[in-house]
Homo-oligomer: A and B are copies of this chain.
Amino acid sequence: MPEKITETDLIHALSGVFRTYGYEGASMALISQATGLKKSSLYHRFPDGKQQMARAVAHAISGGIEKQALAPLNGPGSPKARVKQAAQRLNTFYENGNKPCALDTLSIAGDQGEATLAELRESYDALIKGFTNIAIEAGTKPKAAQQRAIRAIVLIEGALVVTRITGDSDSFKRVIKELPDLLCDA
């Protein structure tokens, strides 16, 4: 008797496929393989098909960034120590730079739909917000703090692209390492 796969595991598997192959590259065949569910079962869970799956992934990521990756930013310790912890979680989330970011691969022109793109923008905003606040707390003026936050995301996304091209995750490791100073130093 087939068991019901949990929503969490399902979204995680979907996330892996969409992040790795992008929206157009993530065929139902690949998705079926990655989730262990037949196509018809996937349509039972997501009646609107691939677009709804991508939307769910983007939504889960936007929530996960706030509640998982950036959680340490609101915890105890100095701002720099908290950024260090968040950076480590980001490092895990991106598998040392070897797993693409959905903000990149899912935002490429295609049929993913405006709702998914809106969710991606929310993820971006959540990151900006988290990074900006910690930079402010570390003593940077709001406007400059936001510039630092944007710069942090630019560096993360760029390093992930470079890692994908070169196969060398050094630049990503470097960005993760520099993140605390980038956001908190005077």
Contact = CB atoms under 8 A, between A and B. Distances in A.
B103 A108 contact: no
A161 interface: yes
A21 B154 CA distance: 21
Interface residues of A, number: 34
A60 interface: no
A22 interface: yes
Given A24-B25, A25-B22, A108-B21, A153 B164 contact: no
A166 B151 CA distance: 14
Contacts of A153: 158, 162
User: How many protomers of this protein does the assembly include?
Assistant: 2
A161 B162 CA distance: 12
A156 interface: yes
B159 A154 contact: yes
Interface of A: 20-25, 100-101, 103-105, 107-110, 120-121, 124, 150-151, 153-159, 161-162, 164-166, 171, 175
Given A100-B108, A104-B161, A157-B158, 9 more contacts: A22-B24, A101-B161, A108-B108, A150-B171, A153-B158, A154-B162, A157-B161, A158-B158, A158-B161
7 nearest A-B pairs in the assembled complex, by CB-CB distance: A158-B158, A154-B158, A24-B25, A157-B161, A157-B158, A24-B24, A25-B110
12 contacts: A21-B24, A22-B25, A22-B108, A101-B161, A104-B104, A107-B165, A108-B108, A108-B164, A120-B165, A154-B161, A157-B158, A157-B162
